[in-house]
Amino acid sequence: MAESYEFTVYRGTFIQLPRGDSSRKPELVRNCGTLWVSSTDGRIKGFDWQARDDATFQELMSRNGWVDVDAATNGNGVNGATVNVKVVIASEDRNEFFFPGFIDTHIHAPQFPNVGLFGSSTLLDWLETYTFPVESGFGSKSDPKNQDKNPKDAPPSALRIYDQVVARTLSHGTTCASYFATVHVPATNALAALCHSRGQRAFIGRTCMDNPDFCPEYYRDQSADDSISATRSTIEYIHTLDPKGTLVKPIVTPRFVPTCTRPALEGLGKLVAEYNPPLHIQTHISENTNEVALVKDLFPECPSYASVYDTYNLLTSRTILAHAVHLTADERALVRKRDAKISHCPASNAALGSGIAPIRVMLDEGITVGLGTDVSGGYSPSILEAARQACLSSRLLGHTTAHAECKPVNGYDKTEGREKLSVAEALYLATRGGAAVVDMADEIGGFEEGMIWDAQLIELGGVSEQGECPLDVVSNGNGSLVKPGPVGNVDLFGAETWEEKMQKWVWSGDDRNTKAVWVSGRLVHQRV
Amino acid sequence: MAESYEFTVYRGTFIQLPRGDSSRKPELVRNCGTLWVSSTDGRIKGFDWQARDDATFQELMSRNGWVDVDAATNGNGVNGATVNVKVVIASEDRNEFFFPGFIDTHIHAPQFPNVGLFGSSTLLDWLETYTFPVESGFGSKSDPKNQDKNPKDAPPSALRIYDQVVARTLSHGTTCASYFATVHVPATNALAALCHSRGQRAFIGRTCMDNPDFCPEYYRDQSADDSISATRSTIEYIHTLDPKGTLVKPIVTPRFVPTCTRPALEGLGKLVAEYNPPLHIQTHISENTNEVALVKDLFPECPSYASVYDTYNLLTSRTILAHAVHLTADERALVRKRDAKISHCPASNAALGSGIAPIRVMLDEGITVGLGTDVSGGYSPSILEAARQACLSSRLLGHTTAHAECKPVNGYDKTEGREKLSVAEALYLATRGGAAVVDMADEIGGFEEGMIWDAQLIELGGVSEQGECPLDVVSNGNGSLVKPGPVGNVDLFGAETWEEKMQKWVWSGDDRNTKAVWVSGRLVHQRV
């Protein structure tokens, strides 16, 4: 995208997680200084962690011949020696900092209207009661074979919901999402188009589900062939929309084993391999114990749930497996061997009573894990909320029967309390982990030179000043109740270390603290 | 408090939980109409669920000779036949409704600066690392025997924190809180004074802790006698501040068994009984398995943790026991027999890895339960968040070893899935349950005639209008990202039933949805 400036120069505090061995508990890293991003490709071209104070910063600007387009000198004309730049500052007084954008590795866009609605159901009855009815509304009865491709033929209500889910997730700092859509081609294509125009990085999956035994008559692919051809249709549309996959990519999406016939699974495995590089894949695995038992019944020839996907060439290094709450040690070894990725969805796993996935064990075994909101099994479109719930669930893991039985593979020994995820670990999953899950560990999730600027500006707010003695102020009964200073629910009292501020963000923060969001260097959300 | 009008007339939708047998799963009840509250005593004087539309409402106004003080006719003079009233309307279009105020049955006011800070610690190390250091700052070194009583002698930082915690909890709809303060008399009295002037209903407890083996040298009562006399001092102050206990009451607060010597427990039990009616009591019980083991070691003569309190006459019908995660069936039977109350603190119990309390079992056994935030073991001052976490934790309870071992007493049989708390059950705990826990079931928590108007006005926001086709709108890349309509994170699409709107409030709502809050009929918070 052409801008009137060559670089955006970000100045202030930058916090991120280091890349590294997932078997080590990560720590947050903080730098103060200046980082610049090219307007041409949205990538980080350099940084200078010495350029902190005004003098050093101005020296950096001069050295590079940079001229601030918004400064008073704007319009002085660009000669050969100067380069226009836009300067964005994270205010120290307001406790602002730049942080990598969040990556939601598992979200069902059409289920957004059902956020918060699940009663006391568990997975299989929830699908029938809440999910299939809402998803079925994203198509047209006049196109049962899904041959239409035009996004504008999607129902207006579908467009409205998809538009809102993209807007909402961006406002929560989600710069990249791996979406399940519905079976319908026009609406799926519309979701891709909306992400593309709003500027959210996305993987778009048309949901494949052709098994009449487990999909309702009113909502399914009519045959395995239909499932493959409709999927191909959305892939072609997305490849036309974004030929280089700069922002939006297709992802092959068998819903989960019970909804797919053997021919469909086989066909999808072949479809993936037709492309070079092979297509990405996303599905669900071992979310719920009844589901695990059902898969065992349906595929007696396969030794495990994971092996079903493996049999059909769907367990690859570009596969995202959502949930993985009840994987056996053998399955985890297989997942590791294939380098398939796990999307941990703790809010959903609690809400639907699925259980608690042993994330630290998987990480220690070398499995790649990211976070997913799993809207609307999950009740929130916020990855910050998912990070919080990942911490909370992991603290309850020690009380579960699964934890007692969990036998780690690869010689790793469980250590007392090690299963508890720290704030830094949860934020690792939300950024670096998610980047690796969507196969973009070299591109997003951190601030190395050459990486794409998918980032958010977080504002925690200032420390409220000590004013009059509160015993005097409120005695008139008209005190204004929340002091100026805090943004949202984060309260800072001035004694916090920067690490403690980060903890307060994760535990008390929300979208009010997300002041601005960029994807590929483009500003895509700003809090109003 | 004298107002320029005799009644406030509330018109619109009223939602509450019915009073009833705790062994039944409650359902929300919704009425549309008009309810009026006396300015003299803040109590509900009547309601008319027929007075919904304009005509019926005006007819009700005329019949009673009511004149709206804010209407154009204001200032026409009051003659014998008319009565000035203030009218407050909950807008149907904005999905507004009146709901009983939340009751926080367990919160540590001085720990508010530590919200979100607990690392991966568990109860006993968390107390030493995070809690005692912050609490110790609420006193003065020049008064080691705690003989000063003047709230203005509390450190300025203490006043600032207490002021903020009262402001914050009010902004989350907490109309009544049972506070733990610190050991210090002036700061404890200041907390009482701040609640009184800001208008929050509160129980204020000076924390008793005199056991040198488990309290640090820098932060404890110097003796059992000091503990009793300092407690008496705060009781006298509060009784002077609010002689009838209309808003603020003292509550005797042994921190928990390990921090109290036998003489202190004995003395506090006697102190309670000196008053008529006896004083209220609050403490902790069976939060953590190490703590349970410690109490067993310390009091070998007592058969259980609960029996320690019982031995010292501290287990009464006016006692609030926080946590109760690991009570045995025998202890639950004793708690039931004494009619002591339980404060369930699910956010804290997850955050500190304490475990999951079997709430449905306790309710079915006839035990009274309310919700507590347990700031800062809990990371949020919001009872709405506590309600959400109560639902979530209960959905994971079936995966815990404790659930498998839990043997209900009183002949009640566990039914599959019954342990999962519904949104209505969680809101019951947050209002009716909490009211009973603080011994005010006849006064607050619902909208019966004669009850006190402790209430909140919730605004979910309107349904966003279907505008232009989003595929056209956002193609310029400048769409404003969150549509007008929603307040905070609640998204309504227009097809929701009222029960579903309530679910969306609990799962996606926050303080942005709390538009106004009243205590005893006085407006104490309004969202700006």
pLDDT at residue B484 greater than cutoff 50: no
DSSP three-state, residue A323? strand
pLDDT score recorded for residue B483: 53
**pLDDT for A472:** 84
pLDDT given at position A1: 42
Displacement of CA B199 from its chain's centroid (Å): 14
Span A101-119, average pLDDT: 96
* Structural contact between residues A370 and A102, judged by C-beta atoms closer than 8 angstroms: no
d(CA A410, CA A425): 21
**Residue that has been written with the tokens 């300025």 in this structure:** B156
pLDDT of residue B74: 47
Contact B159 A525 (CB under 8 A): no
Percent of chain B's residues with pLDDT above 70: 94
Residue B266: band (very low, low, confident or very high) from pLDDT cuts 50, 70, 90: very high
Q: Which distant-in-sequence residues (6+ apart) come within 8 Å of B72 by Cβ?
A: none
Looking at residue A484, its pLDDT comes to: 47
pTM over 0.90: yes
Q: Which residue of B has its CA nearest to A398?
A: B353
Per the listing, tokens 């084993």 go with A257
* Between residues B78 and B298, the one the model is more confident about: B298
Strand A174-180 vs strand A102-108: parallel, antiparallel, or unpaired? parallel
The answer for B 383-412 residues in CB contact with A (under 8 A) is 389, 391-393, 395-396, 398-402, 404
pLDDT above 90 (res B104): yes
Q: Where does residue B374 fall: left (phi above 0), alpha (psi -120 to 50 degrees), or beta otherwise?
A: left
Instruction: Classify strands A280-285 and A248-254 as parallel, antiparallel or unpaired.
Output: parallel
Q: Which residues pair with B391 in a beta bridge?
A: none
Sequence spans of domains, chain B: 1-100+453-528, 102-437
pLDDT, one tens digit per residue, over B8-27 is 999 999 999 999 888 899 99
Q: Tell whether B465 is within 8 A of chain A (Cβ).
A: no
Categorize the per-residue pLDDT at A467 as very low, low, confident or very high, splitting at 50, 70 and 90. Answer: confident
pLDDT per position as a tens digit, A492-511: 999 999 999 999 999 999 99
The nearest CA of chain A is from the CA of B479 a distance in Å of 7
Q: How many CB atoms lie within 10 A of CB A156?
A: 11
C-alpha distances in angstroms, A503 versus A19, A509, B128? 20, 9, 19
C-alpha to C-alpha distance for B251 and B191, rounded to whole angstroms: 13
Homologous superfamily, domain A102-437: Metal-dependent hydrolases (3.20.20.140)
Q: What is the pLDDT of residues A324-354, one digit of tens each?
A: 999 999 999 999 999 999 999 999 999 999 9
Mean pLDDT across chain A, nearest whole number? 93
Contact A373, A333 (CB under 8 A): no
**Backbone phi, then psi, for B369, in 5-degree steps?**
-130, 140
Whether A491 shows a pLDDT value over 80: the answer reads yes
Mutation site for A-interface testing, chosen from B289, B384, B395, B466 by largest number of A Cβ within 10 Å: B395
pLDDT-derived band at B72, boundaries 50, 70, 90: low
CA A325 to chain centre: 19
Asked if A491 lies within 8 A of B466 by C-beta distance, the reply is: no
Q: How many CB atoms lie within 10 A of CB A181?
A: 27
Instruction: From A147, A123, A279, A153, select the one nearest A222 (Cα to Cα).
Output: A147
Question: CA separation (Å) from B218 to B113, B135, B258, B400?
Answer: 19, 10, 17, 39
3-state secondary structure (DSSP) of residue B285: strand
Q: How would DSSP label each residue in B326-375?
A: S--HHHHHHHHHHT-EEEE-HHHHHHTT-----HHHHHHTT-EEEE---B
Q: Residue B157 — pLDDT band, cuts 50, 70, 90?
A: very high
Residue B254 C-alpha from the chain's centroid: 20
Q: pLDDT (tens digit, 9 = 90+) per residue, A509-519?
A: 999 999 999 99
**pLDDT tens digits for A370-417?**
999 999 999 999 999 999 999 999 999 999 998 888 877 776 667 789
Please give, rounded to a whole number of angstroms, the shortest distance from the CA of B459 to a CA of chain A. Answer: 17
Beta-bridge partners for B179: B107, B204
Using the Cβ of A466 and the Cβ atoms of chain B, whether some distance falls under 8 Å is answered with yes
Interchain pair A471, B152: CB under 8 A: yes
Question: How many angstroms separate the CA of residue B131 from the nearest CA in chain A?
Answer: 15
Give me the residue from B190, B199, B491 closest to A471, CB to CB.
Answer: B190
Q: Which of B149, B399, B478, B507 to mutate to test the interface with A (most CBs of A within 10 A)?
A: B399
In this structure, the dihedral spanned by the alpha carbons of residues A242, A527, B378 and B386, taken in order and rounded to 10 degrees, is -80
Place of tokens 């940079």: A66
A290 touches B: beta carbon within 8 Å: no
B525 vs A: CB within 8 A: yes
A231 exposure class (CB count in 10 Å sphere: 0-12, 13-18, 19+): buried
Q: With a CB-CB cutoff of 8 Å, which residues 223-282 of chain A face chain B?
A: none
**pLDDT for B78 beyond 70:** no
Residue A171 in tokens: 């406002």
Dist CA A305 CA A326 (whole Å): 10
One-letter identity of residue A334: L
CA angle at A114 for the pair A136 and A295, rounded to the nearest 5°: 65
pLDDT above 50 (res B482): no
Residue A285 has pLDDT above 60, yes or no: yes
Query: B474 CA to chain A: closest CA distance, Å?
Result: 6
CA dist., res. B365 & res. A213, Å (int): 42
Output the pLDDT for position A75: 47
pLDDT at B1: 42
B159 and A CB contact within 8 Å: yes
**Per the CB < 8 Å rule, is B420 touching A500?**
no
Which is nearest to A347 in space by CA: A392, A283, A285?
Answer: A392
A74 three-state secondary structure? coil
Q: Domain B1-100+453-528 class?
A: mainly beta
Q: Rounded to an integer, what distance in angstroms lies between the CA atom of residue A228 and that of residue A223?
A: 9
Residues in chain A with CB shorter than 8 Å from the CB of B199 are 477
